[in-house]
A and B are shown apart, each in its own frame.
Chain A
Amino acid sequence: MKIINLKINGIPVSVPEGSTILQAAKLANVRIPTLCYLKDVQCVGSCRLCLVEATGARGLVAACVYPVSEGMEVRTNTPRVRKSRKTTIELILSTHKKKCLSCPRSMNCELQKLALEYNAEEDRFGTDHDIKPIDDLSPSVVRDNSKCVMCTRCVAACAQQTIGAIGPKNRGYAKVIGSPYDVSLAYTPCVNCGQCVVACPVGALYEKSAIADVWGAIVDPTKQVVFFTAPSIKATIGEAFGLPVGTNAEGKMVTAIKQLGDVKCFNMDLTADLTIMEEATELLGRIKNGGTLPMFTSCCPGWVKFAEHYYPELIPSISSCKSPQEMFSAVLKTYYCEKHGIDPKNLYVVSVIPCTAKKFEVAREELGGYTDAALTTRELAKMIKEAGIDFVNLEESTYDTPFETASGAGAIFGATGGVMEAALRTAAYKLGGTGAPLEFKEVRGTQGVKEAEYTVGNAKLKVAVASGLGNARKVIEDIKSGKKDYAFVEIMACPGGCINGGGQPYVHDEVRNTIDLKAVRAQALYDYDKENALRCSHENPAVETLYKEFLGEPNSHKAHKLLHTTYHKRDKY
């Protein structure tokens, strides 16, 4: 590889040939602002915010796309550069609905930050925008085009998911981002993954909020409110309070939830364990009885809706297990209510999830309507702030009984490959007995597609793991064409799995462009697993009790009724 030497603001750096000025600047610790560029998502050089002066170039060049050359001298901080950036920001502001105070992104908005840094005036070019309609018909994602800055990061994120539910339409002044015609996102093949939301730099995209409903239930004297938190929340919620990415804040999170009001807080890692008991049993059953293989996981509602739109013929291959969210709610509204003499209609079940698709899932009729509200990590953080809770300085506490204990296998559900590894641990035990392996490192990591072959007991098991729907499509096409053949396939809609879900805290491009967000967050879960006394789902005593007292055994008639579901073909429009 050829190495190129150049100087950025006088600082010498050496980078591989083909690097961009932006990449070189990072090595020199020089910050260049960006807006349309988002690592692993989009690199189009259209917003002109990253302009710099470079020798050998006529005019200013876009650092995010301009390649370095030998001996080049780059200046990122000249009056000309600063003026150009300021003007670009002011032009964006002239068509922006500047209602910052009540904006969901206020204090966490990339445009606000840029405006502040470059001393931009909000009205230098006047304010010239029409108020465009807000699309809030989707149960998951709200689009407010009056706030859109046309960076097209959402379009790129959706294209990467191979959905393309949104795109630029019309031309010139009338150009907006949206679905074809005036169709709401709710009536498109959108899978509700929210990858567009976490890609958006401003307040143009956010989740459909359930906060008001949850506050309402908390103060309602007839309601008993219970929360449960998904595996990945512990690894991400700290970010919303300024803790470093990758901090495990489980103890503080539980304390904070209990301080929201008279509520209980349970551990959803436990129903991840329950899912494994059901799913591993289903898989081994299919293998033994010659059922449909490969079996696909079913815990990601984004993937499930994707299959219903694009691969309805695969429906028999998808595990019939409900997601851990829906298993938990079903158990709460039946077993827990019976045990504690609560009328199910007075129990208000709130799930905290990393995911906008789970909001859609809550409303799926065939699931029985057991979940009352689903809050994203961001919404929970908002409620904690609204309640005046000093998160960072909280004491740690533990989940409430009887749903407090879970295994590390349940926790790693939040990272791509985690469901697979958890299932393998239990399958290996069931086929091979004690002494079976605990770690399946080949299915870990943030690559989009992972494959492995394991011998468990005396069976050979070929498996694949895909995260991101573009990668899922590749794996499925290979299976369909007969090129590949697996027994078990894990699919997560979000690249990297739920730790990178569409409901996770917003992370600015500046950070996303410099670290592997998915990997750092996932590491927190793998560390948590390692330190957990229980590593396998089948060792979870709470799950054992649940089967003993209520469900019987995995895949029993009762388990089928409460913990399993069906899927159906969907049209795209």
Chain B
Amino acid sequence: MSQNPFEGTEGQMKDLLKSIKSHRGEAGALMPVLHDAQNIYGYLPAEVQTVIAEELNVPLAEVYGVATFYSQFSLTPKGKHQISVCLGTACYVKGSDKILEAIEKELRISCGECTPDKKFSIESCRCVGACGLAPVMIIDGEVYGKLKPDDVAGILDKYMKD
């Protein structure tokens, strides 16, 4: 179901089952369990959602519905380098959608996804307060401003190497 292969370990599964056990029977157990799962795995793989659905006895559609509703949950793993493109009003007006498109093209994945080698993941964010630099993207905490689509390849190249 998800494009990145599931690489969970036995230890992670043990932690997950422990969390499920401690919340089972509570009303609204799903939220805290998903929260723990997100912390244990860094994201919510399909396989993990299936285990949660079975163990808590709730339909998978409900687990998936909650996982895709709250922005605190992610369905894809984070890459080694996390790229975040600001789609706040100021950046958007200055063409940040074009920047995002250039990154997607360069890495051959869509916003919200992670490359198969787990090197990069892309997400979008709301205003980061650097409107003077619009359009802005952030890679591993470092801010790049006044971008043009043509700049993207060169910047990514730096990260490609390590």
Contacts and interface: CB of A to CB of B under 8 A. Distances in A.
A and B together in one complex:
yes
B60 A180 contact: yes
A181 B46 contact: yes
Contacts of B46: 180-181
Contacts of B62: 164, 167
B64 A181 contact: yes
A166 B60 contact: no
User: Which secondary structure dominates chain B's binding surface?
Assistant: helix
B87 interface: no
A180 B49 CA distance: 10
B59 interface: yes
A64 B63 CA distance: 28
A152 to B, nearest CB: 11
A573 interface: yes
B59 A169 contact: no
A240 to B, nearest CB: 32
Contacts of B68: 169-171
A572 B64 CA distance: 15
A359 to B, nearest CB: 22
A379 B68 CA distance: 37
Interface string B48-91: 01100000001111111100111100000000000000000000
Nearest to A168: B65
A166 B59 CA distance: 9
Interface in B96-135: none
A244 to B, nearest CB: 38
Given A169-B68, A181-B1, A183-B1, A573 B50 contact: yes
Given A180-B49, A183-B1, A170 B69 contact: yes
Contacts of A183: 1
Contacts of B50: 573
A166 B61 contact: yes
A283 B122 CA distance: 62
Contacts of A168: 65, 69
A166 to B, nearest CB: 6
Given A181-B1, A183-B1, A572 B69 contact: no
Given A180-B49, A181-B1, A181-B46, A167 B69 contact: no
A384 interface: no
A92 to B, nearest CB: 21
Nearest to A572: B60
By Cβ-Cβ distance, the 3 closest A-B pairs, closest first, are A164-B59, A180-B64, A167-B61
Given A169-B68, A171-B70, A573-B60, 17 more contacts: A159-B59, A164-B60, A167-B61, A167-B64, A169-B64, A169-B65, A169-B69, A170-B68, A171-B68, A171-B71, A180-B46, A180-B49, A180-B60, A180-B61, A181-B1, A181-B64, A573-B50
Interface of B: 1-2, 46, 49-50, 58-65, 68-71
20 contacts: A159-B59, A163-B59, A164-B61, A165-B59, A167-B61, A167-B62, A167-B64, A169-B61, A169-B64, A169-B69, A180-B1, A180-B60, A180-B61, A180-B63, A180-B64, A181-B1, A181-B46, A181-B64, A183-B1, A573-B50
